[in-house]
Amino acid sequence: MKACFMGLGYIGLPTAITAAMHGVDVIGVDINPTVVEKTNAGQLHIIEPGLGERLREVTANGKLRASVVPEPADAYFIVVPTPFKGNHQPDISYVQAATEAVVPFLKDGDLYVIESTSPVGTTELMAELIFSLRPELKGKISIAYCPERVLPGNVLYELVHNDRVIGGVDDASTAKAMDFYKRFVSGELHATNARTAEMCKLTENSSRDVQIAFANELSLICDRAGINVWDLIRLANKHPRVNILQPGCGVGGHCIAVDPYFITSAFPEESKIIATARHINNYKAEWCAEKVINAILRFELDNNRKPVVAMMGVAFKPDIDDLRESPAKTIIDNVMEARTGAEILVSEPNVKSHPQFKLTPYAEAFDKADIIVFLTAHTPFKQLPWPDQKKVLDFCGIFKH
């Protein structure tokens, strides 16, 4: 079995490596020559625990090679980004480009699978594209959708152990795709059709977005009502059928903050809760920035000088180095743009440098600042003492009670 993975990013590379570890001959394709060079040299271009050793193994034993162009294979996997455009409309141009690149290689009996998060109907659309270019392949190849569900930081484990939902454009395609994933997935494989599988991925992340929005809405209400939201949620969760998530400074990353728009842009009339959740989670970052700006002005009025402010954490969630779509960054930007004259120190213990912000070691920022703003609940921040003499704005529950 030879498989061609189109896209060697956060999902494509670990999946390609996992398939190679399970005996598949893998050709990994990426349009970025640096990614290809590094991969062939056995060097990771992303950060993911345990993946470096596995990459070295499968490049050394020849099971995985990278290239900027596809090669003939038995199965093709589309694992490229699907961002959204300015108006929150999904951009499937990378999926289309990767599909067009493999079309000339497709032959009788091959499998074509999309893993990229995609709007409902994308797999059928790509099937139409393939058959418009290669009409003789109709009924001869298998076409399916199988979304990834892994959590960054635990990818190697989850790629193998998570259940997967697999939906073909027909039953034979579903069966053929399931046969492939059986090679390395020990979780259950659930058969469905392509549209349901596409919607399932969007539903999973939208569900989490809605639940986080509920927690964030509670945090706004509690702030007005003088109630500690962390205490409130802890107590409400003592009910056997209540399980509220944690509020934060917004929702970041490139999945939960993006995927719900794939539903709202296609079904605007029907997706009221999903759209409102997006709105609440985006608003939460603006609300946090307003709180910081107000605290700066209050400090100046009370002390007759401008404060030093520590912005603690830039990553989009705890203990990672990923800053994409981070609400913490939005908050820091908004506070800086307000030009209050306060000295703003930015700390992010998980990265060495930042293209926009000069980073200050977190212990130093904590000591120097008059106002401490916790944006990301990184573990080292939790060891810091409660600062009696300073104003603390804890948006992520470092000091929960």
Tokens 């640096």 correspond to 34
Q: How many CB atoms lie within 10 A of CB 17?
A: 30
CA-CA distances (angstroms) from residue 275 to 82, 253, 261, 269, 272?
19, 17, 8, 10, 5
Instruction: Tell which one of 253, 260, 307, 349 touches ligand SAJ (CB under 6 A).
Output: 253
* 64-67, strands of its sheet edge to edge: 64-67, 25-29, 2-6, 75-78, 111-114, 142-145, 164-168, 189-193
Tell me: does residue 314 bind ligand SAJ (CB under 6 A): no
Tokens of 278: 């997006």
Output 141 or 251, the one with its CB closest to ligand SAJ: 251
Tell me: does residue 12 bind ligand SAJ (CB under 6 A): no
Instruction: Tell which one of 95, 150, 233, 371 touches ligand SAJ (CB under 6 A).
Output: 150
Residue 81 CB, shortest distance to ligand SAJ, in Å, is: 11
Instruction: Tell which one of 21, 130, 233, 256 touches ligand SAJ (CB under 6 A).
Output: 256
Q: Stretches 43-51, 218-226, 248-256, 350-358: which one binds ligand SAJ (CB under 6 A)?
A: 248-256
Tell me: does residue 308 bind ligand SAJ (CB under 6 A): no
* Residues 330-369 interacting with ligand SAJ (rule: CB under 6 A): none
Point out the catalytic residue in the list 4, 146, 249, 255: 255
Run of H or E residues at 166 = strand 164-168
Tell me: does residue 60 bind ligand SAJ (CB under 6 A): no
255 part of the active site: yes
Own/partner pairs, 217-221, CB within 8 angstroms, 24+ separation: 217/280, 218/244, 218/247, 219/247, 219/284, 220/284, 220/287
The CB-side HSE value for 361 (13 A sphere, CA atoms) comes to 3
Point out the catalytic residue in the list 201, 317, 329, 391: 201
**Which amino acid belongs to residue 89?**
Q
Give just the sign of the alpha carbon dihedral 334, 336, 340, 342: positive
* Residues 270-299 interacting with ligand SAJ (rule: CB under 6 A): none
Residue 252 CB, shortest distance to ligand SAJ, in Å, is: 4
Q: How is 51-115 classified by DSSP, letter by letter?
A: HHHHHHHHHHTTSEEEESS----SEEEE-----B-TTS-B--HHHHHHHHHHGGG--TT-EEEE-
- Binding residues for ligand SAJ, rule CB under 6 A, total 19
Residue 346 CB, shortest distance to ligand SAJ, in Å, is: 18
Tell me: does residue 316 bind ligand SAJ (CB under 6 A): yes
Nearest by Cα to 309 from 338, 348, 335: 335
Instruction: Tell which one of 63, 149, 176, 278 touches ligand SAJ (CB under 6 A).
Output: 149
* Residues 163-222 interacting with ligand SAJ (rule: CB under 6 A): 204-205, 208, 212
Residue 325 CB, shortest distance to ligand SAJ, in Å, is: 8
**Measured between alpha carbons, how far is 395 from 376 in angstroms, rounded to an integer?**
8
**Which amino acid belongs to residue 35?**
V
* Residues 83-102 interacting with ligand SAJ (rule: CB under 6 A): none
Tell me: does residue 151 bind ligand SAJ (CB under 6 A): yes
201 part of the active site: yes
Tell me: does residue 252 bind ligand SAJ (CB under 6 A): yes
Residues, the chain: 401
Contact footprint for ligand SAJ (CB under 6 A) = 148-152, 204-205, 208, 212, 245-246, 248, 251-253, 255-256, 316-317
Active-site residues, by number, are: 201, 255
